[in-house]
């Protein structure tokens, strides 16, 4: 039994390093085999990739913990970015609502008063009303994507 073991190991190592032959027969069929092809056929010898040396690398606990922390940080940053975007959307919506309310008030032909530099209430004239109407419409067009 002790004599058979070296012979068995030798045969095993030889078969592990055997080449793979590829050839096409007369009918156009492709053959793959570790046996040599017929002598009248041109064969291509395919080599197998070398076996991976050493043990497969496993991540250490510290590496896994670092990856977990990195993923958590990325997730938190994405959540903060989403929260900021939502806040900007809400702010813009409120701004647009205020602009539309102002435009609606300006479009009504009611008496509107402004406070001047002296703190006195002064009736808004037609030119000022038109100027503020144009400004409100431009702001709505530039900042509010929804139709009025």
Splitting the chain (148 residues) into consecutive groups of 10 residues, what average pLDDT does each group show?
A: 61 58 82 80 71 67 93 96 95 93 88 88 90 93 72
Give CA–CA dist 146/141, Å, rounded: 9
Note whether residue 92 is domain-resident: yes
The torsion angles phi and psi of 145, rounded to 5 degrees, stand at -75, -20
Which residue range is the domain that position 121 belongs to?
62-143
- Asked if the structure places residue 41 within a domain, the reply is no
Question: Cα separation of 82 and 80, whole Å?
Answer: 5
Per the domain annotation, does 13 fall within a domain?
A: no
Q: Is residue 8 part of a domain?
A: no
This prediction has a pTM of: 0.46
pLDDT of residue 36: 79
Residue 95 Cα distances to 99, 100, 107, 140, angstroms: 6, 9, 18, 9
The answer to whether residue 117 is domain-embedded is yes
Q: How many domains does the chain have?
A: 1
List Cβ neighbours of 106 (8 Å cut-off, separation of 6 or more): 112, 129, 132, 133, 136
Q: What values do phi and psi take at 26, rounded to 5?
A: -65, -25
pLDDT at residue 147, rounded to an integer: 46
Cβ neighbours of 99 (radius 10 Å): 20
Is residue 118 in some structural domain? Answer: yes
Residue 1 lies in a domain: no
- Res 55: pLDDT: 58
Residue 104 within any structural domain of the chain? yes
The per-residue pLDDT for 79 is: 96
């Amino acid at each position: 039994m002790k004599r058979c073991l070296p012979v068995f190991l030798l045969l095993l190592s030889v078969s592990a390093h055997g080449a793979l032959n590829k050839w096409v027969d007369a009918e156009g069929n492709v053959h793959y085999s570790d046996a040599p092809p017929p002598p009248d056929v041109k064969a291509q010898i395919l080599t197998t990739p070398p076996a991976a040396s050493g043990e497969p690398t496993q991540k250490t606990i510290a590496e896994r913990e670092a990856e977990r922390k990195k993923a958590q940080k990325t997730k938190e940053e994405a959540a903060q970015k989403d929260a900021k975007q939502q806040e900007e959307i809400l702010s813009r919506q409120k701004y647009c609502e205020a602009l539309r309310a102002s435009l609606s008030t300006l479009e009504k032909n009611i008496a509107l008063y402004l406070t001047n530099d002296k703190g006195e209430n002064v009736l808004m004239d037609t030119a000022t009303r038109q100027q503020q109407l144009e400004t409100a419409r431009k702001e709505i067009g530039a900042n509010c994507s929804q139709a009025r």
